[in-house]
């Protein structure tokens, strides 16, 4: 199936300056968002108690917040989790998050268990028996959360390092650096999208970011492979034209793959429920940024690297002495 007509010649290389400037602005803004408003760590990484409950009667979320705050259990968050459709009737589900016990406390899990019981008793007292149903209670200690946060960051770092080494071995170092820059672009912008939309960073979102890195590098490798073929098949063409030809030849495949994945994760986001909501949202953003970086960021870096090498060769070339006049 051809999504793009064969023989199309779009000038990706000619517009790369504008694309790189746009990506640079987005990347810089994304880096700022990592500090302000900053990453909102979920219970997986920050630690604490998480109570997932379903309301069986009409209770305003502000009433729940006041009831939980009256217990003075420290920092507490009450937020709408998802509206679940069950047998044709809507039932409201909410998430109550309580801050973790102090790190190093001997009874971290006991204290968190007591806090969950206190919340349950308070809700029963305020809103009556049968007004709610606790679906799930999770507890993560602050030390465990800190370890998970470090391991998640390490996993992304090792992923990038492994890709750098493999692509350097399989292709060239310039291709590897271009691919890693594209992956950093995709990961940071996806993280910024999660921050700006107020989503938490948990194990699910880390899995989404790692999946995005894998998806993006797959597309980039396809283009790099076509470029390597072009160095033999189209070696008479200037390097810029050869890159542009490779991008156009793989454009149909790139867009079809990206569109298929985007449609899939879009319906997961729309219909999949709260458990997979953040994962699918991150994937949607990552598919768009990954497709963009595959076409513009990775290839632009390779062209920039080649331009520098060409200038150095020109500078280092010996100047032939002028012939003697007769």
pLDDT, tens digit (0-9, with 9 covering 90-100), for 20-50: 999 999 999 999 999 999 998 888 788 888 8
Tokens of 234: 């189209």
Strand, helix or coil at 135? Answer: strand
The span from the CA of 230 to the CA of 246, in Å, is: 7
Cβ-in-10-Å burial (0-12, 13-18, 19+) of 82 comes to middle
User: Beta strand 48-55 with 89-98: parallel, antiparallel or unpaired?
Assistant: antiparallel
pLDDT, tens digit (0-9, with 9 covering 90-100), for 234-280: 778 888 999 999 999 999 989 999 999 999 999 999 988 777 889 99
16-41+145-311 and 48-140 share one fold: no
Q: Where residue 86 falls among pLDDT bands split at 50, 70, 90?
A: very low
In this prediction, residues 95-108 reach a mean pLDDT of: 66
Cβ-in-10-Å burial (0-12, 13-18, 19+) of 72 comes to exposed
Q: Where residue 146 falls among pLDDT bands split at 50, 70, 90?
A: confident
Helices vs. strands in the chain: H and E counts, helices first: 11, 4
The most confident of 4-13, 136-145, 168-177, 306-315, by mean pLDDT: 168-177
**Torsions phi, psi for 74 (to 5 deg):** 95, -160
Contact 281, 201 (CB under 8 A): no
Interaxial angle between packed helices 274-295 and 16-33, expressed in degrees from 0 to 180 and rounded to the nearest 10: 140
Does residue 95 carry a pLDDT above 90?
no
Q: What is the CATH number of domain 48-140?
A: 3.30.70.380
| Confidence (pTM) | 0.81
Eight-state DSSP code of residue 324: P
pLDDT of residue 326: 45
Does residue 74 carry a pLDDT above 90?
no
Does residue 161 carry a pLDDT above 90?
yes
Of 55 and 86, the one with more pLDDT = 55
CA-to-CA dists, residue 279 to 21, 73, 92, 266, angstroms = 28, 30, 21, 11
The span from the CA of 4 to the CA of 12, in Å, is: 15
Strand partners, 84: 91
Does residue 65 carry a pLDDT above 80?
yes
Does residue 104 carry a pLDDT above 60?
no
Contact 278, 265 (CB under 8 A): no
**Domain layout of the chain by residue ranges:** 16-41+145-311, 48-140
The span from the CA of 122 to the CA of 43, in Å, is: 22
Could you tell me the fold of the domain covering 16-41+145-311?
Multidrug efflux transporter AcrB transmembrane fold (1.20.1640)
- The residue assigned the tokens 């920039």 is 304
Q: Which of 186, 192, 187, 195 minimizes the C-alpha distance to 155?
A: 187
Does residue 76 carry a pLDDT above 60?
yes
pLDDT of residue 90: 46
Q: Where residue 85 falls among pLDDT bands split at 50, 70, 90?
A: very low
């Amino acid at each position: 199936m051809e999504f793009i007509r064969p023989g199309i010649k779009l000038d990706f290389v000619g517009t790369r300056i504008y694309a790189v400037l746009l990506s640079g602005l987005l990347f810089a803004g994304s880096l700022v968002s990592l500090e302000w408003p900053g990453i909102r760590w979920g219970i997986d990484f920050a630690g604490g108690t998480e109570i997932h409950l379903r309301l069986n009667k009409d209770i305003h979320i502000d009433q729940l917040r006041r009831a939980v705050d009256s217990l003075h259990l420290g920092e507490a968050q009450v937020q709408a989790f998802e509206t679940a459709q069950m047998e044709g009737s809507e039932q409201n589900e909410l998430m109550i998050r309580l801050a973790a016990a102090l790190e190093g406390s001997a009874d971290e899990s006991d204290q968190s268990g007591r806090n969950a019981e206190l919340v349950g008793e308070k809700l029963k007292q305020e809103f009556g028996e049968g007004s709610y149903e606790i679906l799930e209670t999770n507890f993560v200690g602050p030390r465990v959360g800190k370890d998970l946060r470090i391991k998640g960051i390490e996993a992304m770092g090792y992923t990038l390092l492994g890709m750098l080494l493999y692509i350097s071995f399989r292709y060239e170092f310039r291709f590897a650096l271009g691919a890693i820059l594209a992956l950093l672009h995709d990961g940071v912008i996806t993280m910024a999208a999660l921050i700006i939309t107020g989503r938490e960073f948990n194990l699910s979102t880390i899995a989404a970011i790692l999946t995005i890195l894998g998806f993006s590098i797959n597309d980039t490798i396809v283009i790099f492979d076509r470029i390597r073929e072009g160095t033999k098949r189209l070696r008479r063409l200037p390097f810029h034209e050869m890159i542009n030809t490779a991008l156009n030849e793989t454009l149909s495949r790139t867009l079809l793959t990206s569109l298929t994945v985007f449609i899939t994760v879009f319906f997961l986001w729309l219909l999949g429920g709260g458990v997979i909501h953040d994962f699918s949202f991150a994937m949607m953003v990552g598919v768009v940024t990954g497709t963009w970086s595959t076409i513009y960021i990775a290839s632009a870096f390779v062209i920039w690297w080649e331009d520098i090498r060409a200038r150095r060769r020109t500078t280092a070339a010996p100047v032939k002495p002028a012939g003697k006049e007769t």
